[in-house]
Amino acid sequence: MDRMQVKPDDGSLMAQPDRQVVVTGVAGFIGSHLARELLNLGYRVLGIDYLAGHPQVVIERNLAPNKIDKSFTLVRGDLTEVSLIPWFQGVDTIFHLAACPGVRGSWGKDFARYVSSNILATHLLMDAAIRSGVRRVVVSSSSSIYGGASCGPVTETNLPAPLSPYGVTKLAAEQLALAHARRAGSQMTVVALRYFTVYGPRQREDMLISRLITSALTKKPITILGDGRQRRDFTFVEDAVRANLMAMHADVEAEVINIGTGVTTPVLEVAEIVGDIAGMAVPLKFGQRQAGDVRDTHADVSLARAKIGYLPTVDLRSGLKVQFEWARANKLADRPT
């Protein structure tokens, strides 16, 4: 086993070398970072992914830091097709990140994929987790379940009102997970983390910040969908990963928790900061606001602080610098898409 990296000031992040955990969606953006951090802490990580969510070159790049670790095992399979119970034996915690992400693709006939990967997969996973005696499942939910945040930060008690089919599937998935946890006789506990726009190295290429950085590196204009005044609460991936680790041992039974920063920034300002970092203004064009895009997102993170001890640690400019340098070093802009 690799040497453990123990973070001494935070009890919830102490290394647990005997624990076997599962990360679904391990070939994805957030899942690959979470798996790496769990391995650093001395966990044995079983990663499950159907390896179809990204182009092959991206999958390989995302898996590379974990595949080199002998405590990492990769299972290639669709969660709706694989027999999960054998893989869940002796597992303490499942981090369920696998999903079909993205708002725009969820309209039209592709919705079937969203239903399968987001709803059906979650149902089958939860059922197998209960039958296998898994103690905790940490589920990745989304700010998209709220709709917009025109009246200030949203708390977990706000009425969900998703504006996209994607948001509807994420709401169904988190509520399914909670229903399984509340099932009579269930010993399993669930924390559903509602992430607010996560960014950082390996961010999905369809996401705004990736596209802004690619535009700055290639000098090719990016089309902003809408007037650019829409605001987002941007969460650095390290903070999202820490939230997962904190949710692992928090004293809760069935809970949804916002994971954001509490700071909301207009898209035009993000473009300006990326331009500052790049040393040249990002060339912008403007297009129609798309169906399902919410106007603003803004998280109230008080419950996250109270329930799992989460506080965001990375401000937007610092996080953008890290993602920019990573993209430049990885010559992302040179890669044919």
Ligand X SMILES: NC(=O)c1ccc[n+]([C@@H]2O[C@H](COP(=O)([O-])OP(=O)(O)OC[C@H]3O[C@@H](n4cnc5c(N)ncnc54)[C@H](O)[C@@H]3O)[C@@H](O)[C@H]2O)c1
Q: Return the active site residues.
A: 166
Binder among 84, 98, 119, 273 for ligand X (CB under 6 A)? 98
Binder among 2, 37, 69, 78 for ligand X (CB under 6 A)? 78
Amino acid at 223: T
Which of 7, 2, 12 is closest to 68 using CA atoms?
A: 2
Shortest Å distance, C-beta 139 to ligand X: 8
Nearer to ligand X, 16 or 66 (CB): 66
One character per residue 200-239, x = contact with ligand X (rule: CB under 6 A): ----x-----------------------------------
The residue ranges of DSSP E strands in the chain, in sequence order, are: 20-24, 44-49, 72-76, 91-96, 136-142, 189-195, 198-199, 222-225, 231-232, 235-236, 254-259, 265-266, 284-287
Binder among 21, 97, 103, 130 for ligand X (CB under 6 A)? 97
Q: According to the binding rule CB under 6 A, does residue 114 interact with ligand X? A: no
Return the bridge partners of 75, or none. 48
- DSSP per position, 291-314: TT--SB--B--HHHHHHH------
Whether residue 167 contacts residue 142, with contact meaning beta carbons closer than 8 Å, is answered with yes
Stretch that binds ligand X, among 28-36, 149-157, 215-223, 263-271 (CB under 6 A): 28-36
Number of residues that bind ligand X (CB under 6 A): 30
- The CA distance from 268 to 121, in Å, is 37
Q: According to the binding rule CB under 6 A, does residue 50 interact with ligand X? A: yes
Q: According to the binding rule CB under 6 A, does residue 146 interact with ligand X? A: no
Shortest Å distance, C-beta 206 to ligand X: 9
CA–CA distance from 169 to each of 55, 122, 316 (Å)? 24, 10, 28
Binder among 20, 93, 106, 117 for ligand X (CB under 6 A)? 117
Q: Are strands 20-24 and 91-96 parallel, antiparallel or unpaired?
A: parallel
Q: According to the binding rule CB under 6 A, does residue 110 interact with ligand X? A: no
Nearer to ligand X, 54 or 307 (CB): 54
- The CA distance from 195 to 236, in Å, is 10
Nearest residue to ligand X on Cβ basis: 28
Stretch that binds ligand X, among 1-9, 99-107, 174-182, 264-272 (CB under 6 A): 99-107
Place of tokens 């990573």: 326
Return the bridge partners of 284, or none. 222
- Which structure tokens are listed for 70? 């002998």
Shortest Å distance, C-beta 258 to ligand X: 11
Q: According to the binding rule CB under 6 A, does residue 52 interact with ligand X? A: yes
Q: What angle do CA 185, 187, 193 make, to 5 degrees?
A: 125
- The CA distance from 337 to 333, in Å, is 9
Nearer to ligand X, 2 or 127 (CB): 127
Shortest Å distance, C-beta 261 to ligand X: 13
Q: According to the binding rule CB under 6 A, does residue 316 interact with ligand X? A: no
Q: According to the binding rule CB under 6 A, does residue 27 interact with ligand X? A: yes
- Which structure tokens are listed for 103? 């708002």
Shortest Å distance, C-beta 259 to ligand X: 9
Q: Using CB under 6 A as the criterion, which residues of the chain lie in contact with ligand X when the complex forms?
A: 25, 27-31, 48-54, 78-80, 97-101, 117, 121, 140, 142, 170, 195, 197-198, 204
